[in-house]
Amino acid sequence: MDLTFSERETAFRDELRRWLADNPPPPRPSDGGEEAEHAWRRDWQRRLYDGGWAAPHWPAEYGGRGASLTESAIYFEELGRARVPLPANILGLLLGGPTLMVWGTDEQKERFLPPILSGEEVWCQGFSEPDAGSDLAALKTRAVPDGDDWVVTGQKVWTSGAQHSKWCMLVARTDNEVAKHKGLTYFLMDVEQEAVQIRPLRQITGEAEFNELFIEEARIPDANVVGGVGNGWKVALTTLMNERAGLGFALQVRLRQQLDDLLAIAGERGLLEDPIVADALADLHVRCESIRLLAWKGLTDTERYGQPGPEGSLVKWRWSDTNQRLTQLAADIVGPEALTAGTHWSYELLRARGNTIEGGTTEVLKNIVAERVLGLPRLKAAA
């Protein structure tokens, strides 16, 4: 057992830290709304790219640094610690690129990877549908062959960043005759076509991070099938596994910072003398640290022993629950300001409700833990 970084890892972290200190992003735009925010993150990705830091987890042959899992986690921890934004094309960097590296043809890798890295082409993810959320394989969007193209019709939801995207990782049904997991195919769909209508989905915070996509006979060339026709479920799982990996470290650090901010506010207001407040804050501290330790244990066990433990499923569950507890406690500590529209803490309070739903609901995560980690029997689905 050694809970310190190796010399190489420490050197990686220090180099990144120095770079981030020397190359801070410009201040976040205070007006201009969502467009300005995206432009800001796009410029930031360009700066990371120019510095060689857009995707250290990518192999060197594709423009990354071939960073280890640990270094990749350090990267996201450090981005979080420096309080810089995530690059604009985070979905392409984290999900799309790595999925293509596993399943893509040489032509696809050559065509798509460079503009993902530079941020010239932004990617979004078209998986969920109104009737296919937790039960993703039940999706209904159809693709039928037509010459060298596929013609796609259907509806997608929770597509973040679609309005800025060029490419959508789209899973559609290409065969109705086989079991539901087997009839799926993974496509790269050009979002910039008339047949794809993007409608922002206003969420409980009032903003629209996500969109609905209405797809009416969109065309996708056959060359944009990833991993073969009928193999979409496996390719999608590659994407989803990447979703739960790296990003967790950035979120975990952000949680820590929110807690530190809240501790500082409680301190300024003399509330740490209140044993009930102190107890609640310390409870969050324990939870927050256990998330950090579980995340590192899961990652390093995978890296060293090739054997992921149960931690992967536990981290997202505990993180989402803890962030909800934290933002709720903030409402008590901060007072009316936390309930005033447009403030930081009111936003966090509302945004946190999504945490236990997005990227796998807590209920689904508990099923995964019960069935795959504890080996409990599966309840037969209602007929």
Residues annotated catalytic, as ranges: 243
Cβ pair 141, 98 in contact under 8 A: no
As measured in angstroms, the least distance from the Cβ of 156 to another protein is 28
Choose one: 13-21, 54-62, 82-90, 257-265; the region binding another protein (CB under 8 A).
Answer: 257-265
Does 147 bind another protein (CB under 8 A)? Our answer is no
Contact with another protein (CB under 8 A) among 318, 320, 346, 349: 318
Q: Cα separations (Å) of 70 from 45, 175, 270, 287, 303?
A: 22, 40, 39, 22, 8
Does 12 bind another protein (CB under 8 A)? Our answer is no
Q: Which of 302, 316, 322 is nearest to 361 (CA)?
A: 316
Q: 3-class DSSP state for residue 51?
A: coil
Q: 3-class DSSP state for residue 126?
A: strand
| Closer residue to another protein in complex, CB, 161/298 | 298
Does 342 bind another protein (CB under 8 A)? Our answer is no
Does 207 bind another protein (CB under 8 A)? Our answer is no
CA 120 – CA 192 distance, rounded (Å): 14
Does 135 bind another protein (CB under 8 A)? Our answer is no
CA 201 – CA 130 distance, rounded (Å): 12
Residues 275, 278, 283, 284, CA torsion sign: positive
Q: Cα separations (Å) of 92 from 165, 266, 272, 346, 369?
A: 10, 39, 43, 30, 28
Does 383 bind another protein (CB under 8 A)? Our answer is no
Tell me the per-residue interface mask from 47 to 86 with another protein, x by CB under 8 A, - otherwise.
Answer: -----------------------x----------------
Q: Which of 249, 270, 316, 326 is nearest to 76 (CA)?
A: 249
Q: How many CB atoms lie within 10 A of CB 334?
A: 22
**Which stretch of DSSP H or E encloses residue 258?**
helix 247-268
| Closer residue to another protein in complex, CB, 185/313 | 313
Contact with another protein (CB under 8 A) among 290, 302, 328, 361: 290
Q: How many CB atoms lie within 10 A of CB 278?
A: 14
Residue keyed to tokens 């939870």: 287
- Count, residues near another protein per rule CB under 8 A: 56
Choose one: 47-55, 110-118, 219-227, 365-373; the region binding another protein (CB under 8 A).
Answer: 365-373
Does 300 bind another protein (CB under 8 A)? Our answer is yes
Does 279 bind another protein (CB under 8 A)? Our answer is yes
Q: Which residues bind to another protein, rule: CB under 8 A?
A: 1-6, 9, 70, 259-261, 263-264, 266-267, 272, 275, 278-279, 281-283, 285-287, 289-290, 293-294, 296-297, 300-301, 304-305, 309-311, 314, 317-318, 363, 365-367, 369-371, 373-380
